Amino acid sequence: MKTRILAVGAAILLSAAPSQAGNLVYQAVNPAFGGSPLNGSWLQSEAQAQNIPQAAQQRQQQLFSTGTSRGGISTLTPGQIFAQQLQSQLYSSLANQITQAIFGENARPNGTFVFQGTTIQFLRVGSDVQVTINDGQTTTQVVVPATP
């Protein structure tokens, strides 16, 4: 009984002691709202990475709409997951072959690759390589140094 009274008394004394806390300071990340201007390029690259072109977004929606639905959330079947991973591996292999043709030991001065409606052309211009990618809807041109 005596220990219970001591415990209650200690709890009352501790709860009555003044507490100290620091001020909370909000620091914005976005430079438009007072954040560091050094964050601007990072925020821009994050926004561009999340910007899915409309055609790719439609293909993605078609892929997900073919799965079964659970509570409004589409899921992929194991077969669809396998097909997606296989397609990713095939594209990766194709990208490696194109990279070797452009920059490898026996690099060619120019060339064209065509697969599934996408045309990739490259041309050496001075110390740079111009790569043009046309997917049938958009054309993207990238210029990279010919040597690392």
Q: Where do the structural domains in the chain lie, given as residue ranges?
A: 108-148
Cα distance between residue 74 and residue 68, in whole Å: 6
The closest alpha carbon to 120, from 102, 137, 139, 133, belongs to 133
Q: Residue 82 is encoded by which pair of tokens?
A: 């396998």
Stretches where the chain sits below pLDDT 70 are: 1-2, 6-19, 52-74, 148
CB 96 within 8 Å of CB 78: no
pLDDT digits (tens, 9 = 90+) for 103-125: 888 888 888 988 888 898 999 88
What residue has token string 């097909």? 83
Name the CA radius of gyration of the chain, rounded: 29
Residue 111: count other Cβ atoms within 10 Å of its Cβ: 14
> Taking the model in full, what pTM does it have?
0.45
3-class state of residue 35 by DSSP: coil
Residue 134 gets which letter from DSSP?
E
